[in-house]
Amino acid sequence: MTRKWLLWLPFALGLGLFAVFYLGLLRPDDHVIASQMVGKSLPEFATGPAMPGQPGAASADFRDGKPRLLNIFASWCVPCVDEIPVLVTLKAQGAEIAGIAVHDTSIDLARFLAENGNPYTSIGLDEDGQAQIAFGSSGVPETFVVDGNGTILYQHIGVVTEQDAPRLLAMLRRGKQ
Amino acid sequence: MKLLVSICALLLAVSPTFAQDYSEESLPDPKQEAVAVQLMDSIRCVVCQGQPISGSNADLAADMRRLIRERIAKGESPEEVRAWLIDKYGDWVSFKPQVKPATLPLWIVPLLALIGGVWLVSRRLGKKAG
């Protein structure tokens, strides 16, 4: 009797496998790719200044004991507009924000910042996306919390909303040396 | 004629200074290019997921193609570049599974199935003969 059941076992396994694959087809595969750099030291990068009168961003700037937000954005990025007011509020509450503008130009950025506000203390121009890849970032906008030693504490993927702001601020305060 | 020659000389002198955009252009060395393309075919685009970066139009995929070509041209091995990308984006970015404890079943299970199959068949054949 057990022998008879055993014969059906491969068939049942195959059916189970088919069910798993079929369900996978129904559920599209669109998860966000989190950076593996969280918990690690900032990668070496150097981006030139994007705006006259504002410095660019480089990894060395992040090791001065001051925790910072590192915001990856672009003037061509539509959702980035939504988070600028939140970033401005965060800056008013004492957050220091460095920006990295991906695939951008100074002219487009100047217009973008004039229209939406400028919460950044430094903006680096990442013309060929090499800094973005070094961070393990897969899109704009993304915001990294970096502590005073230059260690990445957290990655926020997508727009920073008013609900996210207190959490980011708390992380910055904890990152202080 | 002299003018034409000097214009040609000027053009020749100027053309290499146009920045090579290795996101779309091949490497001058066909061997290195083949290695780079092979790697691009097995690196997954993080924007249009499921596509290799070699066939994706996303900006980030172009950036990764440029990065791969530049690193291969500098003499890095494709597996070094793959490891660097996995370091940033995780195993997910590579279509080629890495050998590690969590992925060992991928190699062991087919082997076990084969051994089990051979055992079953040999038993049956043995019975028939006997």
How far apart, in whole angstroms, are the C-alpha atoms of residue A133 and residue A80?
A: 19
Average pLDDT for B98-122:
93
Domains of chain A: 46-174 (3.40.30.10)
Residue A19 has a CB neighbour count (10 Å cut-off) of 10
Average pLDDT for A99-121:
96
Q: B 10-39 residues with CB below 8 A of A?
A: none
For residue A1, the model assigns a pLDDT of 66
Q: Closest Cα of chain A to B11: distance in Å? A: 27
More confident: A15 or B15: A15
How far apart, in whole angstroms, are the C-alpha atoms of residue B80 and residue B70?
A: 13
pLDDT one-digit tens code per residue, B28-42: 999 999 999 999 999
Q: Closest Cα of chain B to A30: distance in Å? A: 7
SS3 content of chain B, % helix, strand, coil (to 5): 70, 5, 30
For chains A and B, count residue pairs whose Cβ atoms are closer than 8 Å.
50
Mean pLDDT of chain A: 92
* A37, A102, A128 member nearest B88 (Cβ): A37
How far apart, in whole angstroms, are the C-alpha atoms of residue B104 and residue A57?
A: 42
Average pLDDT for A71-91:
96
For residue B17, the model assigns a pLDDT of 44
Average pLDDT for B80-94:
94
Average pLDDT for A75-104:
96
- pLDDT interval class at A72 (50, 70, 90): very high
ipTM of predicted complex: 0.83
pLDDT at B7 exceeding the cut of 60:
no
Nearest CA in chain B to A134: B88
